[in-house]
Amino acid sequence: MAAPGVAGKFVVLNVPQGFDRRAIGPLLGRYHEASTIGIVALDQLGSEQIARIREGRPVSDTTRNPRAIALVWLSRQAAAALLGKEPAAIAPGSATGTTVSGQYDFTRTAVAFRARNVVGILRGSDPALRNEYVSLTAHHDHVGFDHHPVDHDSLRAFNRVVRPMGADSPNRPATDAEQVRIRAILDSLRAIRPPRRDSIRNGADDDGSGTVAILEIAEAFATAQGAERPRRSILFVSHTGEEAGLLGSRWYSDHPTVPLDSIVGEIDQDMVGRGTASDFPRGGTGGGSPTYLEVIGAKRISREFGETLEAANAKQPLPFVFDYTYDAPGHPLQYYCRADHYSYARYGIPSVAFSRGEHLDYHQVTDEAQYISYQDLARVTRMVHDGALAVANAPERPKRDVPKPTDPHAPCVQ
């Protein structure tokens, strides 16, 4: 719901220490009629984020949202100068009537980056169905590198105590008690090995795990015989540009290599290689259970599609417990709009995103292969294999329960 009385105004949002940056999206939506939004949180940004701002590196894809709101990060000192007193001392909505003038540069520049989606097709065994497809997807991009190397073990010790969901946890200083715990963890590691500095964010789980999973499924289907061979064709797509805003999947679904109406269902795997108890020192998005699996979108378009996947899961030696928490309409984390499956769902294709959840290494240089739970990754991969096979071999495509969207480029609604 839009906030009243903000049209054409400079809205200043005072946020608490340790605020969750994921809340910015819903806030921008609420104040979309404002001319500019100032967020009093510049002092809370990390060094890499500050460096990006100083170097003029932040970008906005205005081809997706040409009416994007101007967003300004304010320090507490700047906010106090603007408002006449500390923001915390001002009642919400009372600092009105002041005219704000200023100037900032905005440059609309097309920036070319070489990036590719990787597409493969396994032809179905049934001549009557092989022109229909079940799509299995993941993404092979990640978030690059830091300008300043950090000590791997120090960062991981800090995140274990302070930021259990990695980049999706608020970036705040450790308390004195937390510093003691961090030091104890680090001392135990220093007894084993010396410091090791790193600046590269490898993305072993995000989303090396998903890309490996679809490769394994492709190999299994390619060598399958009889009833284990898919009757419909399987479309494998490893997307690029997911971290930049689903760019690769959006491009592919806008420019598909097969007719979109021939894709009967899509299954996306993103961060499916973790999820053990050690990944969630303070709960995280899951309890660290071997059966935990986040499921987004499975029944939104076709209940039959979702129930087919649930049935395939129920037949596993150790079934997962499908957790639909983050699929709830209006959920503030907006997971439905943040995964590659949405690029297909916006065209009315039954789609699902599977994940084992965020963890302390999310978007960190510590997201490395040594922390992958290969046993659990194999279990997710096998379940997706069986679910895809069930959809591919069904007599009919999954029944759609809702009309196809009239505008696939309309803003996503969680």
* Three-class secondary structure assignment of 166-221: HHHCCCCCCCHHHHHHHHHHHHHHHCCCCCCEEEECCCHHHHHHHHHHHHHHHHHH
Q: Quote the pLDDT of residue 114.
A: 87
- What is the sign, positive or negative, of the torsion defined by CA atoms of 331, 332, 336, 342? positive
Domains for the chain: give ranges and CATH numbers: 10-89 (no CATH), 118-143+202-393 (3.40.630.10), 149-200 (no CATH)
* pLDDT on residue 172: 86
Burial of 258 (0-12, 13-18, 19+ CB in 10 A): middle
pLDDT of residue 25: 67
Cβ 315 vs Cβ 386: under 8 Å: yes
User: pLDDT of 363-386, one tens digit each?
Assistant: 999 999 999 999 999 999 999 999
Average per-residue pLDDT in the chain? 89
Give the whole-angstrom CA distance, residue 290 versus residue 367: 19
Listed as ranges, residues in the chain with pLDDT below 50 are: 284
Q: How far apart are CA 336 and CA 323, in angstroms?
A: 13
Secondary structure class of 148 (helix, strand, coil): strand
Beta bridge partners of 38: 12, 72
